[in-house]
Amino acid sequence: MVLAFLKLLAIEGLWSIAPDDPVIMPELTHVLLPNSELQGDEAFGRLLKMGPAAKPALPQIRALLQTHDWRIRRATRDLLEKLESSDTPKPAG
C-alpha cells in the first residue's frame, strides 16, 4: 500500500509540472486497476484534481464499477459524474 501511495504522489507531482507528459496516464491507470493496492479516496482525489486531463483513465475507472466493494462502486460513480462534467483544471504550481 505504501508503494502504491508513493507512486500516486509521484504521478501527481509529475502532472503538476508536466501535465502533458505521456507517462502520466499509463502509470495512473495502473494504480487504478481493480487489483491495485490503492483505490478509493486517495486515487480518486488526485483524479478529481486532474479533471478532464484524467479522461484517458475513464476505461479503468469504469472497470471499478464491477468491484464487490459497494463503497468503491459508489465513489466511482461519483467520480465519473464529476469528471464527465468538469472544466479543464490548471496544474497546481
> Can you tell me the distance from the alpha carbon of 30 to that of 17, in angstroms, rounded to the nearest whole number?
20
In a domain, 57, yes or no: yes
> Can you tell me the distance from the alpha carbon of 8 to that of 29, in angstroms, rounded to the nearest whole number?
10
pTM over 0.85: no
The answer to whether residues 55 and 83 touch, using CB atoms and an 8 Å cutoff, is yes
Q: How many domains does the chain have?
A: 1
Quickly state the pLDDT bin for 28 (edges 50, 70, 90).
confident
For residue 44, the enclosing domain spans: 2-84
By C-alpha distance, which of 17, 91, 7 is closest to 54?
91
Amino acid 38: pLDDT: 58
Query: Which three three-digit cell numbers place residue 81?
Result: 459524474
pLDDT at 35 over 80: no
Amino acid 36: pLDDT: 59
In a domain, 92, yes or no: no
In a domain, 45, yes or no: yes
In order, the DSSP letters of 11-37 are HHHHHHH-TT-TTHHHHHHHHHSTT-S
Quickly state the pLDDT bin for 24 (edges 50, 70, 90).
confident
